Structure 1
Amino acid sequence: MTGKQRFRRYLVWTFWISLVFTAGFIWYYMERQIPEQLSIVAREQEEFRLDLPFDVTLQSESEEVVLGNRSNIPSGEVHLSRAEPLSLYGEKLGSYRVGLKLFGAIHFKDIQVDVVDSRYALPCGLPVGIYLKSKGVMVVGTGRLTDSQGQEVEPAYGLLQSGDYIEAINGQPLTDKEALITSLNSIGDSEALLRVRREGKDMEIRMNPVKTQDGMYKLGAWVRDDTQGIGTITYVEENGQFGALGHGISDMDTGKVVEIENGSLYETEILGIEKGAVGKPGVMAGVIYYGPGTELGTISFNTDDGIFGTVNEKMKGMLRGKPLEIGYRQDIQKGPAWIRSDVSGKLRDYEIEIQKVEYNPIQKNKSIVLRVTDEALLRITGGIVQGMSGSPIIQNDKLVGAVTHVFVNDPTRGYGIFIEDMLEH
């Protein structure tokens, strides 16, 4: 093969590889830009833009969802130009499907359009103490023991894993670490049958407790049965249901979202704020009051999108302001917005800039990219600090989201979650 032929083959291969890469990138980009689901308020025309590399066609098979733009294509099918907004109008409540075609012929995906009533919630921004009781005793890790004979052993190695939950021993349910210790010492040298929940599935594990030099019987596992911290309440609905944080509470050692039996909200006092710096997120330092009469509500769920439950009358009496209409993802625009927070000791709104909106993000709690622009907040916190997660985001007099994370290398910037994703729980 001559050098000229090799060069020609190289060009052909380069062309096809570039073509495949470009097609794959465009497909991935389109998948990210076009949401799987949209919610629109009944009898209100919603308008939004999709940042697409080329024109697409939308087709609705239902008369309940009307598509519209400036095209002359018949009703029910709309040619969507990159430069033109899409309008959606739903008359009746319900869930409907809208199909999307590339180049007017290739079916790309279906979008679920939910037609809903207007919904309202009170943006909060108040810090609270959080206590979670795990569902079972959580295994943090395993390690070596020195038995009564002075030998090093590791009985749980290969049997228990970080993130496991021990639910029962020999058929007796476990409520906490103390119950685990009591059960092991009553079993002694006999075999223990552990019922363990691993990644949502129950399994049985047989092992023998080891008698250590202090006379106690142990499994060789580090365990934990509760978690606590400080966070921010995002919203409270008229029925007392609340959402907070915008992300789940994870175990500090395993990094996994804690599976909970129940939990509670408590009064807290912020004692100081360590400002954020590049490479080091700031933090709100405070004390949680667990005494009588300090409980503010109950926690029912700990999920990737936040914690959820019901506030009590004491908490309701602490709320200020008025309920706002819920804004959906298509209502959010780049530009000025506000976050509500009590970091200064007084509840107020601070100005931010919404820099990016991801309709279909990989992680729900990173749907919004924002930057703190309010000089007063920058003086107090340096931007976003730990403990501000859950601070409600307000734009155009609508509750649209909540702060969830801070950029480690830029504390003035962070992520947020759509409020509609929190309200699904």
Structure 2
Amino acid sequence: MRKIRRAGKYFYRILSVVFWAGLVFTAGYGWYYAEHQIPEHFSVSEGEETSFSLDLPLYTTLLSESEEVILKGDSGIPQEEIRIRPDQEFSLYARKGGNFRLGLKLFGTIPFKEISVDVEDACYAVPCGMPVGIYLKSRGVMVIGTGKVTDENGSEAEPAYGILQSGDYIEAINGKPLSDKEALITNLNRMGESEALLRVRRAGKELELSVDTVKTEDGSRKLGAWVRDDTQGIGTMTYLKPDGSFGALGHGISDGDTGRVVEIENGALYETEILGIEKGSAGNPGVMAGVIYYGPGSRLGSVAQNTDCGIFGTAGQAFCDGVKQQAVEVGHRQDVKRGKAWIRSYVSGEACDYEIEIQRVDYSPTRENKSLVFQVTDERLLRLTGGIVQGMSGSPILQNGKLVGAVTHVFVQDSTRGYGIFVEDMLKK
């Protein structure tokens, strides 16, 4: 009898462990879906009915908190509250512009998540896809790192070590603003004393730092810091709006040494010529090799922002006049579906749309420029480039006649696959 009681207790312990493990798994599973599969906000066009599928894990109730946002479920009857089955589509109609909220409840009772809905006018843009040369001027002189220098007596010193940090921006020296690294060098060599008072921007904060400079054998003074004031490269223009504003790349331009997005004062786009393409392979992303023409007649536009979602600015009139493609409607994030889509690129020398397969759509805000996963399926592009190569970042992604995204990264181990960003996120920047 005692053995039976022990076995019973053991059995209930196992049931308890299984119950709590299941509860933790369910909570974790629910959190994953809330974070990655259900957007925190989405935009819709005023006066248009839009269909959604939230890929929900369980039966869920969707509640509209405003009479201006009308929900429709299976019955087709507008309601302020509808019940949604997993993978079931529903519709939303917004009567007027503004910001509204939707509530999600598990089993109709447990508050799960709130979704913000922006109702706005339909947006149109030209999906471009052409390569451009990019030049960016940093805001301040960027510190890459510190190093040792030899003084006039032959001794080594590293004066900036522990004072300046990689990613700092030197804005002024001894009260004099700096425009570029040449100005920094000139002011250092004009100093009569060894101590340099630097105004430095670090992570958005202004700092006053003092560095004892080193006088070298040739009489010049040095900080013992590697610095840079500009960067350049080749990328792809994603879209051009009717007002001449553009977005490109889909990700920020980062410094090759610090890995951080360059904080810029200004920049420009220039004509570029692609001279060759190195095809991608496993472990070795390919690249478009080209030359940038910096002549005054080759300037295509100005760059005002360099962000995690791309670079943005205004195209010149000559560039706008030369664009022959037609503007299309810009799709919202909920318009992007798994399945067939196209990327537009000039890798062949002319504009072509190449077929891809969108394999995953991720709504997590932490994956801003990696919200889409796709695979190149078009044999023409595979023969030409092996898939996605460096320089194709920014190539527009089209689906169902709408501009929905842009290429951002390539899978290092599989050049046929890549990441993309919702074009909606680019436009909001």
**What residue number does 1:212 align with?**
216
Q: Which amino acid aligns with 2:133?
A: G
2:72, 2:78 within 8 Å by CA — same for their partners in 1? no
**What residue number does 2:73 align with?**
69
1:73, 1:79 within 8 Å by CA — same for their partners in 2? no
* Residue 294 in structure 1 maps to residue 291 in structure 2: no
CA drift at 1:209: 1.0
* Residue 274 in structure 1 maps to residue 288 in structure 2: no
1:276, 1:385 within 8 Å by CA — same for their partners in 2? yes
**What residue number does 1:255 align with?**
259
CA drift at 1:25: 3.0
CA drift at 1:83: 3.9
Deviates more, 1:332-341 or 1:173-182: 332-341
Classify 1:204/1:7 alpha carbon distance in 2 versus 1 (closer, same or farther; 3 Å). farther
Q: Deviations over 1:319-364 (max 9, x none)?
A: 1210001111111122111111100111111111111111335211
CA drift at 1:22: 3.5
Counting only pairs closer than 5 Å after superposition, residues 142-181 of structure 1 correspond to structure 2 as: 142-181=146-185
Deviates more, 1:9-18 or 1:245-254: 9-18
Q: Deviations over 1:264-317 (max 9, x none)?
A: 000000000000000110000000000121100000000000000000012113
Classify 1:11/1:128 alpha carbon distance in 2 versus 1 (closer, same or farther; 3 Å). same
CA drift at 1:104: 1.6
CA drift at 1:72: 9.5
**What residue number does 1:132 align with?**
136
**What residue number does 2:57 align with?**
53
One of 87, 90, 100 as aligned partner of 2:104: 100
One of 176, 194, 200 as aligned partner of 2:198: 194
CA drift at 1:150: 1.5
**What residue number does 1:79 align with?**
83
**What residue number does 1:329 align with?**
333
2:70, 2:78 within 8 Å by CA — same for their partners in 1? no
CA drift at 1:214: 2.8
Counting only pairs closer than 5 Å after superposition, residues 364-375 of structure 1 correspond to structure 2 as: 364-375=368-379
One of 37, 41, 46 as aligned partner of 1:33: 37
Classify 1:287/1:107 alpha carbon distance in 2 versus 1 (closer, same or farther; 3 Å). same
Q: Give the match's secondary structure for 1:254.
A: coil
Q: Deviations over 1:127-178 (max 9, x none)?
A: 0000000000000011111111222111111111110000011111101000
CA distance in 2, matches of 1:365, 1:119: 21
* Residue 390 in structure 1 maps to residue 394 in structure 2: yes
CA drift at 1:66: 0.8
* Residue 313 in structure 1 maps to residue 325 in structure 2: no
CA drift at 1:9: 5.0
Q: Give the match's secondary structure for 1:365.
A: coil
2:56, 2:87 within 8 Å by CA — same for their partners in 1? no
CA distance in 2, matches of 1:303, 1:181: 29
Classify 1:232/1:83 alpha carbon distance in 2 versus 1 (closer, same or farther; 3 Å). closer
CA distance in 2, matches of 1:141, 1:399: 41
Q: Deviations over 1:18-68 (max 9, x none)?
A: 532442232222222110111111111100111111011111121111111
Classify 1:17/1:189 alpha carbon distance in 2 versus 1 (closer, same or farther; 3 Å). farther
CA distance in 2, matches of 1:83, 1:250: 39
Classify 1:205/1:7 alpha carbon distance in 2 versus 1 (closer, same or farther; 3 Å). farther
Q: Give the match's secondary structure for 2:187.
A: helix
Q: Which amino acid aligns with 1:40?
A: V
Classify 1:17/1:154 alpha carbon distance in 2 versus 1 (closer, same or farther; 3 Å). farther
Q: Deviations over 1:388-424 (max 9, x none)?
A: 0000111111111111110111101101111111111
TM-score of the pair, normalised by structure 2: 0.95
CA drift at 1:386: 0.3
Q: Give the match's secondary structure for 2:283.
A: coil
**What residue number does 2:382 align with?**
378
User: Percent same amino acid among aligned pairs?
Assistant: 65
**What residue number does 2:245 align with?**
241
Q: Give the match's secondary structure for 2:79.
A: coil
1:188, 1:211 within 8 Å by CA — same for their partners in 2? no
CA distance in 1, matches of 2:360, 2:422: 12
CA distance in 2, matches of 1:194, 1:90: 54
2:288, 2:390 within 8 Å by CA — same for their partners in 1? yes
1:188, 1:209 within 8 Å by CA — same for their partners in 2? no
CA distance in 2, matches of 1:215, 1:56: 75
CA distance in 2, matches of 1:351, 1:372: 7
CA distance in 2, matches of 1:73, 1:267: 55
1:141, 1:221 within 8 Å by CA — same for their partners in 2? yes
Classify 1:221/1:42 alpha carbon distance in 2 versus 1 (closer, same or farther; 3 Å). same
CA distance in 1, matches of 2:283, 2:266: 34
CA distance in 1, matches of 2:96, 2:22: 47
1:262, 1:301 within 8 Å by CA — same for their partners in 2? yes
TM-score of the pair, normalised by structure 1: 0.96
Aligned CA RMSD, in angstroms, stands at 1.8
Q: Which amino acid aligns with 1:146?
A: T
Q: Which amino acid aligns with 2:378?
A: D
Query: How many residues are aligned here?
Result: 424
1:393, 1:401 within 8 Å by CA — same for their partners in 2? yes
**What residue number does 1:23 align with?**
27
**What residue number does 1:408 align with?**
412
Deviates more, 1:125-134 or 1:91-100: 91-100
CA distance in 2, matches of 1:257, 1:382: 28
Q: Give the match's secondary structure for 2:425.
A: helix
Q: Give the match's secondary structure for 1:394.
A: strand
Q: Which amino acid aligns with 2:218?
A: D
